[in-house]
Structure 1
Amino acid sequence: MPNLLLLHGALGHSDIFNPYLTALSPYFTVHTPLFSGHGDRELPAEGINIKKYTKELSEYCKVNNLTDVSIFGHSMGGYAALCYAMENPENVNSVMTLGTKFDWTEEQALKESKMLNPDVIIEKISVYAQLLESQHGAKWKQLLPAIADLMIDLGKNPPLENNLATINIPTQIMVGDKDHMVTLEESIRVYRSLPNAKLAVLPDTKHPMDKVQPDLLLRLIKDFWNLS
């Protein structure tokens, strides 16, 4: 059975894919790895960046002997998926991304990272703070600034920039029409820069994975991977 990796975003968790596992398991052996610092995985002392997460993905595939994988990545998971595909084209069959931000500049990264202040989140979005604690434990307060550093590093050194044309595998770039973090324009730019890509815009869809309509996303997944 073909292997499918489902990759969560920054501050996300593999639990977000639970609504999709039953529908996908007849077609794939589904893998839902966690990036370090997320869930029960320790936050590395040296910090995190997209290169580290790409390496973790590579190590996961080696350990599990995955040499011909399809990948779905939400948000940062989609960015890591394309980085892995760029470095290991022989190992990746195809990639779908949803809500992945591609336009990383230092200015943009600093703007996004300022929103990752634990004290502000506790004060203004207490429900979100409780969710983060339930998913990542007490270390969620350390995970936020680590993700902020990851964003700033991406702004300084975006590895996909100028390299998209080298990714020849079938790819589908997807974005919600109400995503306030990812623009339709940047998604179209990346879609046009990839040699073998499709584009899908999800109606009435915001950025968080739990705001996506599972039936809609499953239809797009089944269409892309020709699942009957």
Structure 2
Amino acid sequence: MQHLILLHGALGSDKQFQSLVQELDGTFQLHTFNLHGHGGLPLPSHTFSIELFSEQVARYIQDMNIEKANIFGYSMGGYIAMYLAKQMPDKINKIVTLATKFYWDEKTASKEVKLLDSKIIQEKLPAFATQLQQRHAPADWVAILDKTTELLLNLGKNNTLQLEDYNSITTPSLVLLGDRDKMVTLEETLAVYKQLPNALFGVLPGTPHIFEQVNVSLLAYLIKGFMK
């Protein structure tokens, strides 16, 4: 049975994938995964970065003796999957990304970090604040916001994967985007898709960026079909 690692996005955790796990159970040997500082894991002393998270996943693949891993990456998880495929192509079999923001510059990063103000979240989105607290306990969700802000600002200054880097990523990939995603543009997604030598592209209808609003049955169907 093929191994499939599920990678969450920024501010996310493996808890978000419970319904997807149910849909995929029995088809893959599933590995849910929490990145450093997420889902209750302690915050690292190091700055959040794509490299840091990728090293964590690579170590997991080695420790679990996985010869070749398939990866589903949501949002930032898809970016990490692509980075891993570039750094260790012999260990990554296939990739499916959903709602991954590939393009970063300083203007884009500044816009996104405005949404990570903990005081505004607590005042205007108390339910989301509670969700973040529960998702990451006992870690401090405000500290996670601060570290994520730093990550995005650093990506804005120096995007870890430049557009030309995708030319060398030969891992078979399915790049998915929701048609109602307000964070990730069709243009940046298509630009990466066209650079990838061995990729397919798909649009999920009626789908915003938030994973909890994704049609999980449809997503699982696409993952199964691509990974077979």
TM over 0.5: yes
Give 1:165's match in structure 2, choosing from 164, 167, 181: 167
The CA distance in 2 between the partners of 1:77 and 1:23, in whole Å, is 19
| Residue of structure 1 equivalent to 2:96 | 96
Please give the secondary structure, in 1, of the residue aligned with 2:33: coil
Unaligned runs of 5+ in 2: none
Instruction: Give, as a single letter, the amino acid of the residue that structure 2 aligns with 1:141.
Output: V
The CA distance in 1 between the partners of 2:46 and 2:216, in whole Å, is 36
| Residue of structure 2 equivalent to 1:69 | 69
1:144 aligns with 2:139: no
Instruction: Give, as a single letter, the amino acid of the residue that structure 2 aligns with 1:35.
Output: L
The Cα RMSD (Å) is 1.0
Please give the secondary structure, in 2, of the residue aligned with 1:133: helix
The equivalences for 1:20-169 within 5 A come to 20-137=20-137, 139-161=140-162, 162-169=164-171
Deviation, 1:25, is 2.4
The CA distance in 1 between the partners of 2:50 and 2:17, in whole Å, is 21
Deviation, 1:159, is 2.1
The CA distance in 2 between the partners of 1:157 and 1:66, in whole Å, is 31
Q: Is the 8 A contact 2:20 2:217 kept in 1?
A: no
Deviation, 1:121, is 0.2
Q: Which digits, 9 at most, give the CA deviation of each residue in 1:26-55, with x for residues without a partner?
A: 121100110011011111122211110111
Farther off after superposition, 59-68 or 97-106: 59-68
Question: What's the % identity of the aligned pairs?
Answer: 40
Deviation, 1:157, is 1.9
Moved over 2 A (4+): none
Return the TM-score normalized by structure 1.
0.96
Give 2:219's match in structure 1, choosing from 211, 217, 220: 217
The equivalences for 1:186-197 within 5 A come to 186-197=188-199
Unaligned runs of 5+ in 1: none
Deviation, 1:146, is 0.4
Farther off after superposition, 97-106 or 39-48: 39-48
Farther off after superposition, 71-80 or 134-143: 134-143
The CA distance in 2 between the partners of 1:225 and 1:59, in whole Å, is 23
Return the TM-score normalized by structure 2.
0.96
